[in-house]
Amino acid sequence: MKFFRIFTFFLIIGLLSNSCRKDIDEIIPGDEVVTHESSTFIVEAEEEPEEILGNINDFFADSQVGKQSSLINSNTINIVYGNKGTLLNIPSSIFQTTEGVPVSGMVDIELIEIFYKDEMVRSNKPTTSNGAILISGGELYIMAYQNGEELEIIPGESMMVRVPAVTNYENPWEMTKFYGEEMPDGTVDWTIDPNAQVQLTEAQDSTAGTWGLAFEFPETRLGWINCDYFMGEENLTSLSLEVGEGYTNENTAAFLIFTDIHSVCRLSSFDESTHRFVANGSYSIPVGESVVAFTVSKSGDEYEADFVPITVSADLVIPIEFEAMSLEEIHSQLLSY
């Protein structure tokens, strides 16, 4: 009888104990687990990498080159000057609607001039054609509107465009024309115009009164236009910028700014497993070129950036060390290139 009472006592204690705890297989991080009336413990979760909340498109929206607008009478010949020296010689009555209906009267001309490397970065308009590096003589965006409706140039008509040369070019006579297609990430991929007729000429600086080299060509289309010639790359290699955990192609952008030529490329390919922005394949980089690896990231309302001057070598991997910078500080640093 005594043995039976002892056995019953321990059986009851065991049942009560099991009713007050979770099976260990059911415990998940963050659960509060009660093992006795007087004791409680928390199962700690493993720390996750801090998520960087930000949209890198904010950087371009806050930094891009602005549009210029001019109101013209399309019934007469018009000369439109851009703030940086672009000249548009627009004959009368050359516009129609996208449905093919000729227009007359007042027309709004919209112009964007992107001539310098810092502007190419800030406006997210690198100088590449399917990965091949272009040496740029100037990127333009030209559009025409009437009452907010987009217009086009009547087939067979054209305007004359003149762009000042803003730097010294090794082979300016090779300059030709490319049309731009805007990509999902906001960059533009440039495709050569097989019918381009770019001529070298001279233009006078309206501010300084001096004369300098310019590129002139007839234009039959509106949209993104670029004067360029191919760099002619040899001995290409892959190159990677390693940004670390938390940085992605949604909150971060990576560029290569060429030191000795008028070119910029963006590294749009991102490897999530290695946290690297990669230039490879058709986007490979010539060995021996001097470049500045520029990366910028948006976290909340703040920016981080890094500038790394390098000489390209085979399969180079560049570790990026971000530091907090204001938008104005980033713009100022970009101006030096």
Q: Is residue 20 part of a domain?
A: no
Q: Is residue 290 part of a domain?
A: yes
Answer with the one of 190, 206, 230 that is the final residue of a domain. 230
Could you report the per-residue pLDDT of 25-77, keeping only the tens digit for each? Answer: 444 444 444 444 444 444 444 555 555 668 999 999 999 999 999 999 999 99
Domain containing 311: what range? 236-335
User: What pLDDT shows up at residue 218?
Assistant: 97
More confident residue, 32 or 311: 311
Could you report the per-residue pLDDT of 70-102, keeping only the tens digit for each? Answer: 999 999 999 999 999 999 999 999 999 999 999
Please indicate, yes or no, whether residues 78 and 206 belong to a single structural domain of this protein: yes
Phi, psi (degrees; rounded to nearest 5) at 248:
-135, 175
Q: Is residue 50 part of a domain?
A: no
- Complete DSSP assignment for 39-105: EEEE-PPPPPPPP----THHHHHHHSPPPEEEEEETTS-EEEE-TTS-EEEE-TT-EEETTS-B--S
Residue 207 pLDDT greater than 50, yes or no: yes
Which CATH number covers residue 223? 2.60.220
Q: State the pLDDT confidence band at 5, using cuts at 50, 70 and 90.
A: very low
Q: Which two tokens stand for residue 272?
A: 């999530």
Answer with the one of 230, 247, 282 that is the final residue of a domain. 230
User: What pLDDT shows up at residue 143?
Assistant: 98
Residue 234 pLDDT greater than 90, yes or no: no
User: What pLDDT shows up at residue 206?
Assistant: 62
User: What pLDDT shows up at residue 208?
Assistant: 63
Q: Is residue 25 part of a domain?
A: no
Q: Is residue 46 part of a domain?
A: no
Please indicate, yes or no, whether residues 202 and 268 belong to a single structural domain of this protein: no
Please indicate, yes or no, whether residues 271 and 245 belong to a single structural domain of this protein: yes
Please indicate, yes or no, whether residues 244 and 296 belong to a single structural domain of this protein: yes
More confident residue, 73 or 235: 73
Please indicate, yes or no, whether residues 296 and 196 belong to a single structural domain of this protein: no
Please indicate, yes or no, whether residues 177 and 277 belong to a single structural domain of this protein: no
Q: Which of 195, 165, 164, 189 is nearest to 177 (CA)?
A: 195
Residue 18 pLDDT greater than 50, yes or no: no
Q: Is residue 75 part of a domain?
A: yes
Please indicate, yes or no, whether residues 126 and 102 belong to a single structural domain of this protein: yes
User: What pLDDT shows up at residue 68?
Assistant: 98
Q: Is residue 206 part of a domain?
A: yes
Please indicate, yes or no, whether residues 222 and 94 belong to a single structural domain of this protein: yes
Q: How many helices (H) and strands (E) does the chain have?
A: 4, 27
More confident residue, 223 or 14: 223
If one counts the domains in the chain, the total is: 2
Q: Of 18-32, 98-112, 126-140, 175-189, which gets the smallest average pLDDT?
A: 18-32
User: What pLDDT shows up at residue 232?
Assistant: 82
**What is the chain's mean pLDDT, rounded?**
87
User: What pLDDT shows up at residue 31?
Assistant: 44
pTM check: above 0.85: no
Please indicate, yes or no, whether residues 206 and 113 belong to a single structural domain of this protein: yes
Stretch 191-196: mean pLDDT: 94
Residue 24 pLDDT greater than 80, yes or no: no
Name the maximum alpha-carbon separation found in the chain.
Answer: 120
How remote is the C-alpha of 319 from its chain's centroid? 20
Stretch 233-242: mean pLDDT: 92
Could you report the per-residue pLDDT of 145-186, keeping only the tens digit for each? Answer: 999 999 999 999 999 999 999 888 888 999 999 999 999 889
Please indicate, yes or no, whether residues 173 and 137 belong to a single structural domain of this protein: yes
Answer with the one of 174, 202, 230 that is the final residue of a domain. 230
More confident residue, 125 or 21: 125
User: What pLDDT shows up at residue 237?
Assistant: 95
User: What pLDDT shows up at residue 23?
Assistant: 45
Could you report the per-residue pLDDT of 274-292, keeping only the tens digit for each? Answer: 999 999 988 899 999 999 9
Q: Is residue 23 part of a domain?
A: no
Please indicate, yes or no, whether residues 215 and 273 belong to a single structural domain of this protein: no
Q: Are 169 and 137 in contact (CB under 8 A)?
A: yes
Kindly report the number of other CB atoms within 10 A of residue 94's CB atom. 21
